[in-house]
């Protein structure tokens, strides 16, 4: 796989967006549930994965992982029962795979259904990955409170991702088509 300036630019722009979302209220939208917020932080990784491929999506996902580790590393450690490897796996592995999964989901289809599928798959990778690792390898305290969070956060996060990804990816595809027509 050849890395071009386009791949680097998309990863940089989306990584910057992920970083900005991590430290603003736009990254954690208030919702009335146990966690108090649904995240939009995974959306730049979905967009980067679809637009520039799995490597760019993985890099943007790692930006999300790093910022969430700095902000919530103690919580990851608590839910992992003090096991650093489990906490790191939960914080990093799913986030690195958001854009990768979104890329392959989008690639399997085309157009609006593909954008919806990429949003759904990227969000599912994040939610199922983080919470799944902590569910199976974390503490029993985590298991008792996670189901209501999943039932209230996950649908909202899918809706947010779909609302953003469908028009953004449509606009990018349209501009790419126009650029290709001009050359």
Which of 20, 159, 137, 156 is CA-nearest to residue 83? 137
Structural domain includes residue 183? no
**Domain membership of residue 75 as a residue range:** 5-178
CATH of the domain at 20: 1.10.1760.20
pLDDT in tens, the chain (183 residues): 688 999 999 999 999 999 999 999 899 888 777 677 888 999 999 999 999 999 999 999 999 999 999 999 998 999 899 999 999 999 999 999 999 999 999 999 877 789 999 999 999 999 999 989 998 998 877 777 777 777 888 888 999 999 999 999 999 988 887 555 544
With CA atoms as reference, report the closest residue to 118 among 31, 63, 32, 45: 45
pTM of the predicted protein model: 0.91
Asked if residue 174 is part of any domain, the answer here is yes
- The rounded distance, in Å, linking the Cα atoms of 122 and 129 is 10
Domain count, the chain: 1
């Amino acid at each position: 796989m050849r890395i071009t300036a386009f791949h680097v630019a998309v990863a940089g722009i989306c990584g910057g967006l992920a970083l900005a979302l991590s430290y603003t209220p736009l990254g954690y939208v208030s919702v009335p549930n146990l966690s108090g917020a649904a995240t939009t932080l995974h959306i730049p990784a979905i967009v980067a994965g679809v637009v520039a491929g799995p490597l760019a999506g993985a890099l943007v996902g790692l930006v999300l992982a790093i910022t969430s580790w700095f902000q919530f590393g103690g919580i990851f450690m608590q839910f992992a029962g003090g096991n650093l490897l489990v906490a790191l796996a939960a914080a990093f592995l799913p986030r690195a795979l958001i854009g990768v999964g979104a890329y392959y989901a989008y690639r399997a289809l085309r157009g609006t259904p593909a954008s919806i599928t990429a949003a759904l798959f990227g969000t599912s990778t994040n939610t199922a990955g983080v919470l799944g690792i902590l569910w199976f390898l974390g503490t029993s305290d985590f298991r008792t409170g996670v189901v209501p969070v999943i039932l209230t956060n996950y649908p909202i996060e899918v809706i947010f991702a779909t609302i953003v990804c469908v028009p953004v990816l449509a606009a990018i595809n349209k501009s790419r088509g126009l650029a290709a027509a001009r050359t």
